[in-house]
Amino acid sequence: MSRLLLSALLGLAASLATAAIDPHQFETVEQQERYQRFTAELRCPKCQNQNLAGSDAEIAADLRRELRRLIDEGYSDQQIIDFMVARYGEFVLYRPPLDRNTVLLWAAPVAFGVVGFAALGTLLIRRRRSAADPEPPLDAAEAERVRRLLEGGDELSSASRQPVNGGDSR
């Protein structure tokens, strides 16, 4: 059963991987690498979250063709980015420049990280402090109450709501 599932998943992955291969021969390996880098980093304008390499949309195919043309004609990286942004806006960039609209996008991961580490830090400090400072032993009255509780009796109904040592133990 699991083998069947695995082969089905692998088959699906294979069909996705071959979805967007257009035969084209670049003159240099460097051009080929630039093409692959750009198809990975440019987002298909029709799709919500797929890059040009992964999308089978008509518009993605057009943009790949256009990208090949730009690379063949010797456009620089910045010129290619400008070409795409002039037509489809910064939506097509998976790494948009930092400006007023994208500041939240760029800052949020850092902010989440800071909050997370701060929480972790306080937790660790608190734990270390409580380990260094164990709870004080019970005094005579408390020990008497514990003994009575363990033996059973009507203590449960009247006094069980009061915390035994008066504080948060954890």
Partner 1 sequence: MARQRLILFLPLLVFIGVVVLFFVMQREMGRGEYDPQALPSALLNKPLPAFELTDLHEGRPVTSDDLKGRVALVNVWATWCPSCYYEHPYLNQLEERGVVIYGVNYKDVPEKAKQWLAEKGDPYALVLDDRQGRLGLDLGVTGAPETYVIDHRGTVRMRYQGPLDERVWQESFAALIEQLQAEAQGAGA
Residues in the site for partner 1, rule: CB under 8 A? 45-46, 48, 58-59, 62-63, 66, 85-89, 91, 167-168
Q: Rounded to an integer, what distance in angstroms lies between the CA atom of residue 9 and that of residue 32? A: 29
Decide whether 37 or 87 has the Cβ nearer to partner 1: 87
Cβ of residue 103: shortest distance to partner 1, in angstroms? 18
Decide whether 98 or 123 has the Cβ nearer to partner 1: 123
Decide whether 45 or 80 has the Cβ nearer to partner 1: 45
Decide whether 63 or 71 has the Cβ nearer to partner 1: 63
Q: What is residue 28's three-state secondary structure?
A: coil
Decide whether 33 or 82 has the Cβ nearer to partner 1: 82
Cβ of residue 16: shortest distance to partner 1, in angstroms? 21
Cβ of residue 36: shortest distance to partner 1, in angstroms? 21
Q: Is 74 left (phi over 0), alpha (psi -120 to 50) or beta?
A: left
Cα separations in angstroms, 147 against 138, 139, 163? 12, 12, 15
Cβ of residue 46: shortest distance to partner 1, in angstroms? 4
Cβ of residue 7: shortest distance to partner 1, in angstroms? 34
Identify residue 79 by its one-letter amino acid code: Q
Q: What is residue 3's three-state secondary structure?
A: helix
Q: Rounded to an integer, what distance in angstroms lies between the CA atom of residue 124 and that of residue 78? A: 47
Contacts of 136 (CB under 8 A, 6+ apart): 165
